[in-house]
Structure 1
């Protein structure tokens, strides 16, 4: 079995990735979540991340095959009369044929370090309940009593409706000083309709 050490891990702002890498990301998302449409040959690849979210991409290639991916989305959250810089995990995916090799752990730990070394006040993510223990090992505690909605718009995605667990980290003194505002609350992310973390 190949090991993670023989793979090429890269970290790059999404806007600086090549067209081929973006196509590979879209194809990986389709392999992991087949309900997402895969781009056909020659078709323009839709952007995986809204440019306004200044995504940071972390990906692992083995040869010319993209095996694992994770991103960090950056945006500002207005909550309880305060403004917080958010760094959110997004699009964590590993090719189903290459799972159980530590690839997801590697990309998640890498982007987690990027988040910890950024200027973010808050780290945020949502996941399916069975995955919460995996993210807890990477330093992402699940919190109860907190819901996340994409926005206040009708039809916005919601952690409650999607059955997601909310993972939240206070990263700065500013966030810690206002930690009480993040108990038993709903966080409206102000994202465009259809976008979520």
Structure 2
């Protein structure tokens, strides 16, 4: 394959080839250095394997062009548990930016989530990224939602992130308003 041919590949976490894994890890270390400090300084995983990440990448030969992974987690706002899938670790290497690769991955991940066993799809992002995700996922912003992150619900901290969601099952559709009434607690991915 020529280095200019870009192709989509997918891997479950344990099957991600080391050459691709370490390119993604290197970029994450630069873009999100807070995830690689203290006891995590020598971290050799992209996302905690507990979240069963599924990697989607565009590659050119052995070069990563763009990466996204979908993680699985249960969320329990207001005492009702939902199986949630969320795209995360979305990145495109600088030489390939503004060519649509990340948008295509978000669209692919959205379809994958919608066809899965998830009750809902969630995207937590910085406010300035909301338009990008809404445009590429087709999911709805939940402007009243508040997201708190931490290992322990009682010590979780409010984040400035915004929430986009896709309510996929009757259960999640019936309780949509729940996501704006109480903070949505997410365990840290690290």
Cα offset, 1:157, TM superposition? 5.0
Alpha-carbon distance change, 24 to 86 in structure 1, aligned in 2, over 3 angstroms: same
Q: Show the counterpart of 2:176.
A: 179
Indicate conservation of the 8 Å contact 2:114/2:168, yes or no. yes
For residues 164 and 7 of structure 1, the distance between their equivalents in structure 2, rounded to whole angstroms, comes to 32
Cα offset, 1:55, TM superposition? 0.7
Alignment of 1:36-185 (within 5 A): 46-138=44-136, 139-151=138-150, 152-154=153-155, 156-159=156-159, 163-185=160-182
Q: Paired residues, what number?
A: 181
Alpha-carbon distance change, 103 to 94 in structure 1, aligned in 2, over 3 angstroms: same
Alpha-carbon distance change, 135 to 121 in structure 1, aligned in 2, over 3 angstroms: same
SS at match of 1:195: coil
Q: Show the counterpart of 1:40.
A: none
Q: Which is helix-richer, 1 or 2?
A: 2
Alpha-carbon distance change, 21 to 158 in structure 1, aligned in 2, over 3 angstroms: farther
SS at match of 1:119: coil
For residues 88 and 105 of structure 2, the distance between their equivalents in structure 1, rounded to whole angstroms, comes to 11
Cα offset, 1:185, TM superposition? 2.3
TM-score, normalised with respect to structure 1: 0.82
Indicate conservation of the 8 Å contact 2:11/2:55, yes or no. yes
Cα offset, 1:31, TM superposition? 4.8
Cα offset, 1:180, TM superposition? 2.5
C-alpha root-mean-square deviation of aligned residues, in Å?
A: 2.4
Report Cα offsets for 1:49-83 as digits up to 9, x if no partner: 11111111101111221110111110111222211
SS at match of 2:99: coil
Q: Show the counterpart of 2:39.
A: none
For residues 158 and 134 of structure 1, the distance between their equivalents in structure 2, rounded to whole angstroms, comes to 23
Alpha-carbon distance change, 28 to 50 in structure 1, aligned in 2, over 3 angstroms: same
Cα offset, 1:165, TM superposition? 1.7
Indicate conservation of the 8 Å contact 2:57/2:65, yes or no. yes
Cα offset, 1:103, TM superposition? 0.6
Cα offset, 1:92, TM superposition? 0.8
Alpha-carbon distance change, 31 to 68 in structure 1, aligned in 2, over 3 angstroms: farther
